[in-house]
Amino acid sequence: MKKVFFALIFILAFSIANARSLEIKIDKDEVAANSELNIEYRIALDEVETFSYEIGIKGENVSLVLFNKTATTDEETGVISWNTKNYPAGKYEAYIFIYPATYWPSKKFDILPYMDFEISKSVLDFFVYKDELLKTITIKNTGNVPIFVATSLKGLKSQAVLTPITARLDVNKSQNFLLSVKKPKEHYNATLTFEIEWGDVLREISIPVRVYNPIVSIELENISQKREGNNYTLTFTILNNGNVGRNLTFTFKLASGLKEDFAFIKPGESKQFIYSFKSSVRTLEIKFIGSDGKEKVIRKNFGIFSILTFDKNMLYAAIIIILLIGIVYAIKRKKKLPEEIDVSKLGVKHG
């Protein structure tokens, strides 16, 4: 009985296979990394049927379905594009499968090897405000082959620790490298080098490492505000007496709201800034990172005299006039006071 049953299943499967014609084609046998593979397929039946099918890709450690569908027809055709990005180099096959079936045709192809990577930073700046500073730099494998990474440091003048020293990255994987640097006695430049290897291919990338012992001294000088018609002009000078450049944030508290601007000043540089507004500036705040690594603020509040249109000589003259008017008023008021009366001269008798 079992032999009869398996014979019937074999005959049924054979008849189904013969009644269905499955074809699959690809436009190339070798595919580069990050490129398109076009897959063309055709299903032909002897009569209209309802069936399900799928188009997919198979490779070492890779199995994915690109397209599946249930159709009622006697013929089904189509073209599918597949991008090889993020898939390892190696041997693959594109296949078509129909349910039920005992076989599926396929076409073999190779994804060609390609080594590539990304490094998160092109330079590492260490402003060591406290005892030491830790920074991270990341390498990502953006090729389609595994890579081996080895690191080295040159030119150090203070203690530093780099971990890990080596790493292996599979396709589409990343690795963080941690660099800790102690506070130096003075500024210095060093180099962090990455050697990236796959097979006989070797690439070397060097990243500048700049280490600073920051002394920050920012001064605000020569500040003035003038009104000219409907415009208010604010002028001031920033002097950097420190040994490191600083990013500055200017916040202007105006009668009409807030305005903000940004600037960078080099060590030893003196730079003048001129701003024009439609309303008066009530407060100027200048923010930057100080020698202790914390935010510092220079604040300047403006009084009413800072926005008058006359110059200093006119201001001094106005003050003198106001004082003279006060003195004259005081003298006149004193003359109007009644004189003291001598009671003895009035002839008043006491009883």
Cα gap 123→239, rounded to integer Å = 27
| 323 φ, ψ (degrees, to nearest 5) | -65, -45
pLDDT in tens, 186-215: 999 999 999 999 999 999 999 999 999 999
For the chain of 351 residues, list the mean pLDDT of each consecutive stretch of 10: 39 48 94 95 93 94 94 95 94 92 86 96 94 96 96 95 97 96 95 96 96 95 91 95 95 93 96 94 95 93 58 59 73 58 47 42
pLDDT in tens, 220-248: 999 999 998 889 999 999 999 999 999 99
Cα gap 282→30, rounded to integer Å = 70
Of 142, 155, 192, 168, residue with least CA distance to 34: 142
pTM flag (> 0.85): no
> In this structure, are residues 278 and 230 in contact, taking their beta carbons and an 8 Å threshold?
yes
Of 93, 89, 197, 196, residue with least CA distance to 144: 89
pLDDT at 241: 95
pLDDT at 204: 96
Buried b (16+ CB within 10 A) or exposed e, 225-249: beeeeeebebebebbbebbbbbebe
> In this structure, are residues 118 and 142 in contact, taking their beta carbons and an 8 Å threshold?
yes
> In this structure, are residues 41 and 57 in contact, taking their beta carbons and an 8 Å threshold?
no
pLDDT at 162: 97
pLDDT at 336: 56
Q: What single DSSP character describes residue 144?
A: S
> In this structure, are residues 186 and 210 in contact, taking their beta carbons and an 8 Å threshold?
no
pLDDT at 139: 98
